A = this chain, B = another copy of it.
Amino acid sequence: MTFSVAVSGASGYAGGELLRLLASHPDLEVRTVTAHQNAGQKLVSAQPHLRSYGDLVLQPTTAEVLAGHDVVFLALPHGKSGEVTERLSPQTLVIDCGADHRLESATDWAAFYGGDHYGAWTYGVPELPRATGDQRADLASSRRIAAPGCNASTVALSLAPGILAGVIEEQDLVSVLAVGPSGAGKSLKVNLLASEILGSASPYAVGGSHRHIPEIQQALRAAGATAPTISFTPVLVPMSRGILAVSTARIIPGTDAAGIRRAWETAYAGESFVQLLPEGEQPRTADVQGANTALIGLEIDEAARRVVVTTAVDNLVKGTAGAAIQSANIALGLPETTGLPVNGVAP
């Protein structure tokens, strides 16, 4: 069975990645693409790598244009999704790749984003270990799904197994991420210019201000934490895509190494897209480039009494567009892996 699809924000990086992946999805058929500034242009003019879409033209992003499809993917700047989706049919499967529907807490929303809070939709990270309930069951019955923040889901997948298994403390978590600039979108800002980023590494949103922090905490609470604290620092590095997250947590005293490793093994046993590497192996972002795969390395630092979890993700795929399609597959009753690459484009 073929489902009709509309993609809004199709001229941006997240929208482009949705379309790249959807082009080889056997059951989802893109009928409509929309954009803001580029409306009226051919898609391929705005996204010259999307050769398969031929003469498809970008339409304006309105509820009217998006209506009448089985699935609507939203890849809009934050604050833009709420309004549009209120006017779409409740039967339409809507996947929001923006931030508008990720946070349950209105307080967190006000503190980190501001503006109207539209409430939280089902969180689009199927593999997320949870203390109660089941993420996939929730997704299967949902028509409104919030694709995750790329950094947030990477850190959540890194740490949630240890929280769920009770082998790491939920206080004093520390995550530092090397991230590529595509996560910041196609924004015209001086600090995103190639001349500024080539040959340079630079941290941003340092000291607890990054908007993905409450999203991480929410995911860790779902895994059983009560009031987790995390020091979270992203560092912009010269690669277009990719997140390499180094996350560390204090080991709960008395836990042995085998028990720690078992926590992650158990959490991701049988998963296609989240893979724990053997001891001594570390992931590289190149290995997941273009793929819906998260690779996780796990080491125990006895001297520092911390676990160190290293996780590689393509921010545009597993971090955004791939997670969105994977969640859509579940919601539509399709095999979860349909149309999603597991092998990275390396070197």
Residues of A with Cβ closer than 8 Å to B?
A: 13, 16, 20, 23-24, 47-52, 172, 174, 176, 178, 180-182, 184, 186, 188-190, 192-204, 206-208, 213, 229-233, 235, 237-242, 244, 246, 248, 250, 275, 281-291, 293, 295, 297, 299-306, 308, 310, 312, 341-347
Contacts and interface: CB of A to CB of B under 8 A. Distances in A.
Given A195-B192, A198-B238, A346 B16 contact: yes
A91 to B, nearest CB: 30
A239 B238 contact: yes
Contacts of A204: 282
B208 A303 contact: yes
Contacts of A235: 178, 244, 246
Contacts of A241: 199, 347
B308 A347 contact: no
Contacts of A48: 281, 283-284, 287, 295, 346
The 3 closest A-B pairs by CB, nearest first: A207-B299, A200-B286, A49-B344
A51 B239 contact: no
12 contacts: A13-B347, A49-B289, A49-B291, A49-B343, A52-B343, A176-B176, A178-B201, A186-B193, A192-B194, A230-B304, A231-B308, A238-B238
Contacts of A290: 290, 345
A239 B198 CA distance: 6
A167 B232 CA distance: 20
Given A250-B172, A345-B345, A180 B198 contact: yes
A8 to B, nearest CB: 19
Contacts of A302: 208
A123 to B, nearest CB: 22
A71 B233 CA distance: 42
B186 A233 contact: no
B305 A202 contact: no
Contacts of A295: 48, 51
A288 B176 contact: no
B284 A195 contact: no
A308 B207 contact: yes
A201 to B, nearest CB: 4
B308 A49 contact: no
Given A182-B195, A195-B240, A199-B347, 10 more contacts: A20-B343, A49-B288, A49-B291, A193-B194, A200-B239, A201-B284, A203-B310, A213-B303, A231-B248, A235-B244
A31 B275 CA distance: 23
Contacts of A229: 303-305
